[in-house]
Structure 1
Amino acid sequence: MHIAPHDNQNKPIVDIDNPTVPLNYFNIVKLQKGEAFHYQVPGYETCIVPATGTVTVEVEGLTFDKLGNRGEDVWDGEPEGVYIPVGAKVTIICTSDETETFIAGAKYDKVLEPFDVRVDGIDLVQYGSDDTKTHRKIKHILGQKQHGKVGRLLVSELFTVGQGGWSGFPAHKHDTDRLPHETRHDETYNFRFRPKHGSGVQILQREEGVPGEAYQLMDGSTFMIDKGYHPCAVMPGYEMYYFTILGGLSQRSLVQYFQPTHAYQIETIPGIKDMVAKFK
């Protein structure tokens, strides 16, 4: 389901128990210097990631200062994040001139400990190639490195390398718990383009051999994926970014099921097996 760019007024774009992706939570918070935002999400662990600007995060008596170093946009610096336990009371305070901050979440039933992920804790993987039009870079904020400290939530940022091309290819899905072949993970994206007037397309094919749907993506588009194969592409001449939230039903590690029609192309895309292994 596509949610067009809009001013959400600091209210959740994907709220708890969303009918499409009940395992996910997503909010965008925009603040000016000195302003504060308070939140608490029962039943969901969350992760705070400044898209731009710098914030201080206060959670259950702990303070994480100077979180975030990006200026104009998500390409202007490296991501950082703070993990927030289920149901914790949180305050985000803007310490730069302004901030746009993402809050990602996944349904979970245990309370863990908060922690921060700074630039040196980001797990970077680059895969694909210009020849296959699949050259991509993923920055894992809550990924394999944080495996024992998080319940069901995976948070990452994907960047195209160069302009144009495909992502999420070969097409795959993760909508059914049937280990060892596949896991049920709801997924939510928020897209950005450089320049901002750039655009892309998200494909959602529900069944093998049956034509699917295509949605035009704009800067700020949010897309929720509950079921089906879901590759996306960016137009030539533009770079694409998407903030990625994955919430697992029964486990955190993601097992993708590649579409049989296209699965052989795994062997043609450099580094894709290493990329898959990072979603743990």
Structure 2
Amino acid sequence: MDDHRHLRAGTASDGPYTLDIDPKTAGWGYSALRILELRPGGSHLLSAGDSEWIVLPLSGGCTVQSDGEVIELLGRESVFAGVTDFAYVPRDAHAQIASGAGGRFALAGAKCERRLPARYGPAPEVPVEHRGTGSCARRVNNFAAAGTFDCDRLIAVEVFTPGGNWSSYPPHKHDEHRPGEETRLEEIYYFEIDGDHGFGYQRVSPSRPGGTDLLAEVRSGDAVLVPDGWHGPSIAAPGHDMYYLNVMAGPGPEREWRICFHPDHTEGYR
């Protein structure tokens, strides 16, 4: 089992982040995620470098100043409180992130080529999608899905799975470039679980000999790296709703999310 693909909460090196995943440490080329915690009155300077970033409130609100823009994010009480607004920070920029009341913020990033303008993503404009039925029902906030918000390479969505339900099902993959059928995307799953002592499970199974093979018990603040393989299901323990943030990027010529479902697990699902 590839246990090194499961990053537990608080395992970041010394610095301002409780979780810090960049392409170099992940062993891939594009996707990044940092979890930033700010005390009341705290601030942090984000240097974008060769990546584009989205500042996404997990709890609390903040002000993001970048490229001459001042973006006020109302945020939310927690990830389970509903859709949030967000800010886009372009590559080669600096962004000052400040929070009067404090909070936690996901910085989702991807190495990119184009430099797009800094801008605000309003919560009412986030498309909300309901997928699956019965024990596979879940809700997806497509705040930076391909086709919903303009980025160069970054794709990011939030998924909410009720306690006892399965999501990321049927298992699917996107580790090959097959025009019109599948796009190659590196993916990060970042988890939060509602309620004390809550947990869930994440499965990644090989799509090729020697591929990623992982079954992880995940808790709030954990992340799972998916460089390849069939990923899913993501399973929420009964009584504990599960949230995960998906961050994806890859080398394809188009920013698109095309997936292939596992042929052994689609019969009768839909």
**Normalised by the size of structure 2, how large is the TM-score?**
0.90
Residue 119 of structure 1 pairs with residue 123 of structure 2: yes
Aligned-partner Cα distance in 1 for 2:180–2:21? 29
CA deviation string 1:15-64 (max 9, x = no partner): 24334343111111111222110011322111000101110000011110
**Map of 1:27 onto structure 2:** 34
Following superposition, the deviation at residue 209 of structure 1 comes to 9.8
Corresponding letter in the other structure for 1:165 = N
Following superposition, the deviation at residue 204 of structure 1 comes to 1.1
1:17 aligns to what SS in structure 2? helix
Residue 183 of structure 1 pairs with residue 188 of structure 2: no
1:138 aligns to what SS in structure 2? strand
**Map of 2:113 onto structure 1:** 109
Unaligned 5+ segments in structure 1 are 270-280
Following superposition, the deviation at residue 190 of structure 1 comes to 0.9
Aligned-partner Cα distance in 2 for 1:146–1:207? 29
RMSD of aligned Cα (Å):
2.0
Say which of 47, 72, 80 aligns to 2:85: 80
Paired residues for 1:1-280 under 5 Å: 1-6=5-10, 8=12, 9-11=15-17, 13-65=20-72, 67-71=73-77, 73-95=78-100, 97-130=101-134, 133-147=135-149, 149-160=150-161, 162-207=162-207, 212-231=213-232, 232-250=234-252, 251-265=254-268, 268-269=269-270
Unaligned 5+ segments in structure 2 are none
Aligned-partner Cα distance in 2 for 1:201–1:84? 32
Corresponding letter in the other structure for 1:89 = H
Corresponding letter in the other structure for 2:152 = G
2:114 aligns to what SS in structure 1? coil
Moved over 6 A (4+): 208-211
Q: In the alignment, is the contact (CA less than 8 A) between 2:194 and 2:241 conserved in 1?
A: yes
Following superposition, the deviation at residue 196 of structure 1 comes to 3.6
Q: In the alignment, is the contact (CA less than 8 A) between 1:196 and 1:219 conserved in 2?
A: no
Aligned-partner Cα distance in 1 for 2:59–2:123? 14
CA distance 1:196–1:222, shift in 2 (3 Å):
farther
Aligned-partner Cα distance in 1 for 2:230–2:242? 19
CA deviation string 1:171-227 (max 9, x = no partner): 100111121221111111110111141111111111379994311111111111001
Corresponding letter in the other structure for 1:214 = L
CA distance 1:239–1:226, shift in 2 (3 Å):
same
1:151 aligns to what SS in structure 2? coil
Corresponding letter in the other structure for 2:164 = G
1:57 aligns to what SS in structure 2? strand
Corresponding letter in the other structure for 1:245 = V
Corresponding letter in the other structure for 1:225 = V
Aligned-partner Cα distance in 2 for 1:180–1:174? 12
2:108 aligns to what SS in structure 1? strand
Aligned-partner Cα distance in 1 for 2:84–2:25? 27
Following superposition, the deviation at residue 165 of structure 1 comes to 1.6
Aligned-partner Cα distance in 2 for 1:202–1:58? 36
